[in-house]
Structure 1
C-alpha cells in the first residue's frame, strides 16, 4: 500500500513519542499474505493480536488511550479479519481501509476511515471535455460477482448509448472512462474498488450503486456535487435517472469533479490536499470522536 512509506517517512512524523497525536502500527497485510508462514487469514490475525499485545505491554501510549490514538492500514480482502482476535484493536484503534462497507463485520463507520484506492498516475493528464464524451455510461466487470451487475448487463448490455461489458473489451479500458459521461461503480464481491478513483481521474462522473458504503472523505467532500448515488433498489431506473440530468447540472458536476481530482492522487513527497493529507485529516477527525467517546 502506497500510504505506508508516506506515513513512516512523511512530513507528519515526529521522533518524540510524547509529542505524537497518533501512533501508526506498521504491520503490512500485503507483506504477511505473501509470507510463507503468515499467508492464511488465521495466521495473520494471530500475528496481529500478538503484535498488539506486545505494543500494549511494552509501551505506555496504548494504555493511555486504550488504543484510540493508534491506527493501522488495510486494503486487501484477506486483511478484513486482521483485527478479529484482539478486542481493543477492533473496537478502539482506527482502521484505515478500502473495505469501508457496513457489510464488513469489522468495519465501524463512526470510527474507521475509508481509504480511496488510487493507482499511481502521470502527474498531469488532459481530460476529454464534455462535448467529446459520446457515450452515456461505461462499466466493465464480471457479472458473476453481483446480482446488481447481472441486472445491469441484462438490461443495457446491448444499449448503443452505453458501453457495458462483462467480458473482454474491444478497446483499451481507460478509453471507456475517457469517452463516457458517467461511469458505474457497482458492488461485486466487495464494495471497494479502484473504479471510483479511475472515473474521477479520467473526468467521468461516478455513478455509485451500492447500499451502506462509506465514501472516501465523505465528511469533507459533498459527493452529491460531483457524483450520482443510486440505491440498489432503484437500479431499474438507472438510464431514466441519468437521462433526466440537465445539461447544466452535468456541466456543474463535471466542473466540480475537476476540482476534487487533486484529492484522489498520491505524491512523493505529499502535496497539500492530496490523498495523504486528506486521509490524515480524516484520521484527526476520527481521533477527536474516539477520545470524546472514551471519556
Structure 2
C-alpha cells in the first residue's frame, strides 16, 4: 500500500471515530440540560422578531408548479399564504425561485438567466439572497446559472438529502412528513421493547433480518392503525431508523418518548434544523454493526441519559409537525426560521450580465 493510501486510510478512520464519538459515545457526567436548542436564550426573541419582520419576494413561476412530495407542496402552499410574502421586492430579505420538481436542469438554467437579464436582484448577490425548493436536490453543473444557483442560493430539499447534493450550513432539509399521524393515545411508558423497527416499504431490510428473531426488538413490516402505532412507540425505548431509507416517523418517535436510533454508515450532515437542535442529545447515531454491538450501545445510552433524551425530544417534536394551516414552531415556521437565520447574505461585486 502506498504512503498516500495509508494517509487516506488513517484520515477516514479518525474522521469516523470522531463523528461517532461525538454523536453516541457520551460521558456519564454530562450536564443537565433543560432545552433541546443550541442557543436556548436567543431562539424565542429571534423567532418572534422573525415573525414580525421577515419578508420574502416570490418570483412569478413560468407555469403551474407540481412537486414530487407532499412536504414540498405543503411548504409552497404555506409560503404563498403566509404573512412573510411581500409584493415589494425592495423590502424583501430573501427571494424565492419557484420551479417544478420535474423541470430539467437546462430549463432551470433558463429561469435563472431570465432573472439575471430582466431584474436587478439576482445580480446584486449572484443569488446569495435567493432560495429554491427541490426535494431531490440539484447537482453541480457546468452552466454558469446552475453553478451560481447551487453554490450561492439556499436549497431546501427533502430529508434524507440525495448523496452529494446537499451543502451543510447553507442548505436546509425539510423535516419528513409522517406516513400516518399517530393518535394521541394515553399509553404508559412500559418500555416492553428495547427497540421498535417498522420497515414499511423496504422489501429487503438487512437490519430487519438481523433483528427479527431477537425478543428485545419489535419488528413490523405492515402499517398499524394509529392507536396501535402510538402504543408501539410509547412502549419502546428506541425507534430504529435506517438513514437513507425511511425516516418518516422520526418526529412521532420524539413525541411519544421513543428515542430515535439512526443506523448510518457515514456522518450525517443534512439533519433537519441541524444548526438549531442538539441532535446528539435527542437521538443516538449508531454505525452499521452487528446485533450484539447495537444492543450494547442502546443499553448503555438508555442507562446513562434516557430521561433527559426523552424530555428534550418531546420538546423538539413540535418542529416535526406539518399542519395544513401553519402554527407556531411547527415544521413550516421552523423552516422559515432557518431561512431567516441565513438572511444575511454575502454581497458579491456586481458583474455584467451575459
Q: Which of the five TM-score ranges fits, normalised by the shorter chain?
A: 0.7 to 0.9
2:90 & 2:248 partners in 1: Cα distance? 37
Distance 1:62 1:124 in 2: 46
Residue 285 of structure 1 is matched in structure 2 by: 341
Alignment of 1:241-252 (within 5 A): 241-246=297-302, 249-252=305-308
Alignment of 1:170-189 (within 5 A): 174=229, 176-187=232-243
TM-score of the aligned structures, taking structure 2 as reference length: 0.67
What residue in structure 1 maps to residue 187 of structure 2?
128
SS at match of 1:24: strand
The runs of 5 or more residues in structure 2 that have no matched partner are 1-71, 350-354
- Of residues 152, 164, 168, the one that matches 1:109 is 168
Counterpart contact for 1:143–1:153, Cα < 8 Å: no
Q: Which residue of 1 is the match for residue 262 of structure 2? A: 208
How many residues align? The count is 269
1:140 equivalent in structure 2: 198
Spell out, residue by residue over 1:149-188, the C-alpha distance to the aligned partner (whole angstroms, 9 max, x if none): 51x33432211110135x547887825434322111113x
Q: Which has the higher contact order (CA 8 A, sep 6+)?
A: 2
Helix, strand or coil at the partner of 1:240: helix
Contact 1:99/1:192 (8 A) holds in 2: no
Structure number, greater radius of gyration: 2
Aligned partner (choices 84, 87, 100) of residue 15 of structure 1: 87
CA-based RMSD of the aligned residues comes to: 3.0
Equivalent-residue separation in structure 2 for 1:67 and 1:218 (angstroms): 23
Report whether the alignment pairs 1:227 with 2:290.
Answer: no
Partner Cα separation in structure 2 for residue 83 and residue 44 of structure 1: 14
Aligned to 1:40: none
Q: Tell me if structure 2 keeps the 8 A contact 1:138–1:177.
A: yes
Contact 2:174–2:272 (CA<8 Å) still a contact in 1? yes
Aligned to 1:80: 137
Distance between the aligned counterparts of 2:248 and 2:172, measured in 1? 16
Contact 1:135 1:181 in 2 (8 A): yes
**Residues 254, 313 of structure 2: 8 Å contact kept:** yes
Instruction: Specify which of 78, 83, 90 is matched with residue 6 of structure 1.
Output: 78
| Aligned partners of 1:74 and 1:95 also within 8 Å | yes
For residue 175 of structure 2, give the secondary structure of its aligned residue in structure 1.
Answer: coil
Query: Does the residue aligned with 1:71 lie in a helix, a strand or coil?
Result: strand
Q: Partners in 2 of 1:56 and 1:234 — Cα distance?
A: 53
Aligned to 1:266: 322
Partner of 1:185: helix, strand, or coil?
Answer: strand
CA deviation digits over 1:74-111, x for unaligned, max 9?
22xxx33477551111111110111455x622211131
